[in-house]
Amino acid sequence: MHQSVKVLKNIVKPKRKRVVGTIIGTRRNVNKDFVNNHAHNEASIYHALVVIFLEFFAWGLLTNPIINVLDTTFPNHTLLMNGLIQGVKGFLSFLSAPLVGALSDGWGRKPFLIITVTFTCAPIPLMTFSPWWYFTIFSISGAFAVTFSIVFAFVADITEVEDRSAAYGLVSATFAASLVTSPAIGAYLGRLYSDDLVVVLATSIAVLDILFILVFVPESLPEKLRKPNRDSTFSWDKADPFGALRKLGSDHLIMMLCITTFLSYLPEAGEYSSFFVYLRLVMGFTEEGVASFIAVIGILSVFAQTVMLALLMKYVGAKATIFLGLIFELVQLALFGFGSQESVMWLGGIVASLGSITFPAISAYASAHFDSDQQGVAQGVLTGMRGLCNGLGPSLFGIVFYVFHVNLNGSLNSDHSNLHINQPINQSTHPKTAMLYHIHQTIMPGPPFAFGSILVILAILVAIFIPNDKVKTQSKRLSPSVPEKFSKEPGKRLVYEQEPLMTNMQEDI
């Protein structure tokens, strides 16, 4: 009788509650053998957080030096050249991210962490030697500058499915935290000493990041899931990124996630490229005001991507969280597009920090729908879409600013308020041009942000068709072209049984 009661208690034993902090030391059950053999050097989320923080802290330090180099090298076409450079890098990232992610599924995460961080940070020391070489290497580095896809796959290897959204939130929050103080520190050191010192400091931090991966970061992918000897010969035909991307068209789920990511992140990428300059030159923020804005919004983003994201994913689910993030983004873009007062900008910034939950929620949703050996390619596809947005977003915003005659090429050191908003347009210009300028003056101070809100509305419409997560299913290999089959055996949950699309993508690679 006592034994029966003990067995019954084990069956009905409630699941242990998890909080955001507990996931940092957890690992997936699938990796137990690997953990037992490497207990002294266990992969954890701490490793991923340090890698992301150091990489983007180094780039955050260079915020002002990059603007100065752009303005010096391309004084008459700053925004245009910035858009072209970012566009080349983003397009290469878009093509390479699925390939790099798929290769990491077969060869492990650590080698590709080293490669992606090295390529991402390679242009930094060139800034002081030759701006032309800096911009050239910066553009080419997009071929492997896809650290986020490898980091998200690393996190998927070491976390349970139910903890993964909170873990992705921590990674995204760490990215935001790295940018809270680094631009202000870089600007202060640049004024006190020189931009060259800032570049040296950023280079040192980048080297430290690479050494950290080499010495301290263990492999997260279990050896039994790695297949380094599966193909002893390498064929360039198998490394065709277009082939992998073409196969996405047959998977409706990943296609919808990619379209949602593209439409929502495109205005966000453009916003990152110009918003702080916009605050200074159009909204009349002081340099200290911009620094305070970055710090406050960064801190709120950290909160949103940890506590708020974890609670939303737990109580309302992934799809609803994606929707809520898109709505926050829509509101903040509308505020930035039609607002003309400092208080409205602050309100928009607060809402924007809440909207930062969108991409971690999309990544967590995708991670839950793919098998362990497909996490790299799945996250690579989404990161590649973000890379494409990072290239197109600045160009899009630059073109819209140009069409509406919003001049962002003024001096950042000026303390004048509303530097360009009251400058009259030449009366001899075309009537349509005058009309657009009038709209900018009276109704829409930030035309690109207003246009971006339309893209987010389209993203919301696409997200409607993302399947609900009402019934939790096992990790699956998706291929909507094959009819779904459900297990009807007594006592078993419904489980998808579909053909392995992502496996086919990996075989092609």
- pLDDT tens digits, one per residue of 247-272: 555 667 888 888 999 999 999 988 88
Per-residue pLDDT at 73 = 83
Q: What does the alpha-carbon distance between residue 124 and residue 129 come to, in Å, rounded to a whole number?
A: 10
Assess whether pLDDT exceeds 50 at residue 225.
yes
Task: State the pLDDT at residue 93.
Answer: 82
In which domain, by residue range, is 384 found?
42-222+239-508
Find the mean pLDDT for residues 483-505: 39
Amino acid at 95: L
Whole-number pLDDT of residue 387: 78
Q: What span, in angstroms and rounded, lies between the C-alpha atoms of 392 and 248?
A: 21
What residue ranges in 116-241 does DSSP mark as E strands?
none
Which structure tokens are listed for 403?
């069409």
Sign for the CA dihedral angle at 96, 97, 100, 102 comes to: negative
Position 386 in a domain? yes
Q: Has residue 496 got a pLDDT over 60?
A: no
126 within some domain: yes
A 10 A CB-CB count for 68 gives: 15
Q: Mean of the pLDDT values across residues 5-24?
A: 43
* 496: helix, strand or coil: strand
2: in domain: no
The per-residue pLDDT for 462 is 93
pLDDT-based confidence at residue 458 (cuts at 50, 70, 90): very high
Question: What is the spatial distance between Cα 270 and Cα 89, in angstroms, rounded to a whole number?
Answer: 14
CATH of the domain at 114: 1.20.1250.20
Total count of domains within the chain: 1
One DSSP character per residue, 286-344 reads -HHHHHHHHHHHHHHHHHIIIIIHHHHHHHT-HHHHHHHHHHHHHHHHHHHHH--SHHH
Report yes or no: 508 and 102 within 8 Å, Cβ to Cβ. no
Provide mean pLDDT across the span 154-173.
84
Residue 161 confidence (pLDDT) above 50: yes
Three-class secondary structure of residue 486 per DSSP: strand
Residue 467 has pLDDT above 80, yes or no: yes
**pLDDT, mean over the chain:** 74
pTM comes to: 0.68
Gyration radius from the chain CA atoms: 24
- Report if residue 10 sits inside a domain: no
What are the pLDDT digits (tens) for 176-224? 888 777 888 888 888 889 889 999 999 999 999 999 999 999 998 887 7
Q: Is position 500 within any domain?
A: yes
Q: Which two tokens stand for residue 409?
A: 């090429």
CA 390 to chain centre: 9
Burial, 427: exposed, middle or buried (Cβ in 10 Å; 0-12, 13-18, 19+)?
exposed
Flag whether pLDDT at 338 surpasses 70. Answer: yes
Assess if residue 364 is contained within a domain.
yes
Mean pLDDT within 280-302? 80
Q: Which residues pair with 496 in a beta bridge?
A: 486
Give pLDDT, residue 276: 75
For 20-50, what is each residue's pLDDT tens digit?
A: 444 444 444 434 443 334 433 688 899 999 9
Which DSSP letter does residue 420 get? T
CB 224 within 8 A of CB 37: no
Among the ranges given (147-156, 341-350, 465-474, 485-494), the one the predictor scored with the smallest mean pLDDT? 485-494
Statement: residue 234 has pLDDT above 80: no
Residue-wise pLDDT for 54-104, tens only, equals 999 999 888 778 878 887 888 776 766 777 787 788 888 888 877 887 788
In a domain, 217, yes or no: yes
Residue 485 has pLDDT above 80, yes or no: no
Predicted pLDDT of residue 13? 43
Q: Average of pLDDT values for 146-158?
A: 87
Give the residue with greater pLDDT, 360 vs 473: 360
Closest CA to 276 of 99, 63, 501, 506: 63
Does residue 59 fall inside a structural domain? yes
Backbone dihedral region of 61: left (phi > 0), alpha (psi from -120 to 50 degrees) or beta? Answer: alpha
Could you tell me what percent of the chain has a pLDDT over 70? 69
